[in-house]
Amino acid sequence: MKKWVLVFSLLAVVSVVSSLNLFFYMKQAHALEEASQQISLLEEKNQEISSQLEQNLLNSAMLYDHIDSIETDIKAIEADLDELRSSYGDVPGLRASLEELGKEITNIRQKLTEISSEYISASEVMEAAEPFVVYIQASLFSFEVSGSGIIVSSAGHVITNYHVVEGMRNISATLNTGETMTLELLDYHAGRDIAILKLVTDRDDLSFALLGDSDSLSVGTDVLAIGYPFPLDDIVPGRAAVTRGVVSAIRKIDGYNYIQTDTAINPGNSGGALMNFAGELVGVNVAKYVDIDIEGVGLAIPINEVKSIISEYAG
């Protein structure tokens, strides 16, 4: 009799455990089903957001194209206006209206840049910029230096800081593809610390930077510093490095204008690109202030002060 009681007791325990297992299984299945539904809803929402972002970026690009077209028209009108002035004197009010329109275009560009920083990631700007940021090596006998440079034409014109190549005889640039080319120094401005060089190549299909408008930069604008600081061991040059920050101020030092940023600028960054989030080159990184009481003070040459030497040699 005791044997049968034990058997029935075991059967009862097994039945209870099975019921509990079934209960928890059903509960977990229900929770998984709800989670799956939530994931599906999130995926649909993410797809909607992605589509909207793509449309916003497309609209932004179209707007930039329209602005460029308007600016070209304004320059043509101003040229015609100068011709009219030389023939008939000043045309009242027209030049003032053109200047006002130019200011409005600058404001629109600034707003587009601010909007772009919300929709475009730093990695996207970096991916687009890395092909035209190069690693520069220069030497004179046994003395060697390195820095960064920026390709500004499809034919391979490169800008960098003059102090990177000053007095050097052998100068070369390594592209992000790993290809190394000789650089020929074309011209420089020692005071402005800028130099323009040319890759010794017949290619005319090189990636190059889109020049922005540094005059339209506002304090607080998001920027990226891209270059080749501190090449380590056998990773030379490795991949370009990027640091992120904001425009801290526009300063005049020793008679020259500089963009002050809190992006990390290190040895090797000299001559590298300062980019906005519209993917435009707005400055050439040049130096940083170093002191025990100073932190986050990097300087870049405004790109508008480099455009003349670029136009002269690269068109």
Q: Which residues are known to be catalytic?
A: 163, 193, 270
Cα–Cα distances in Å, from 44 out to 118, 202, 211, 232?
Answer: 21, 49, 38, 44
Say which residue the tokens 């408008």 belong to.
Answer: 213
Question: By the 8 A CB rule, do 272 and 286 touch?
Answer: no
Determine contact, residues 125/224, Cβ cutoff 8 Å. yes
| Token pair belonging to 93 | 């009010």
Phi, psi of 227 (to 5 degrees): -175, -165
Q: Are 258 and 286 in contact (CB under 8 A)?
A: yes
Instruction: Annotate 197-235 with DSSP letters as a single string.
Output: EEES--------PPB--GGG--TT-EEEEEE--S-BTTB
307: exposed, middle or buried (C-beta count within 10 Å: 0-12, 13-18, 19+)?
A: middle
Give the residue from 101, 21, 30, 114 showing the smallest Cα distance to 67: 101
Structure tokens at 308: 């003349």
31: exposed, middle or buried (C-beta count within 10 Å: 0-12, 13-18, 19+)? exposed
Nearest to 125 by CA among 268, 273, 299: 273
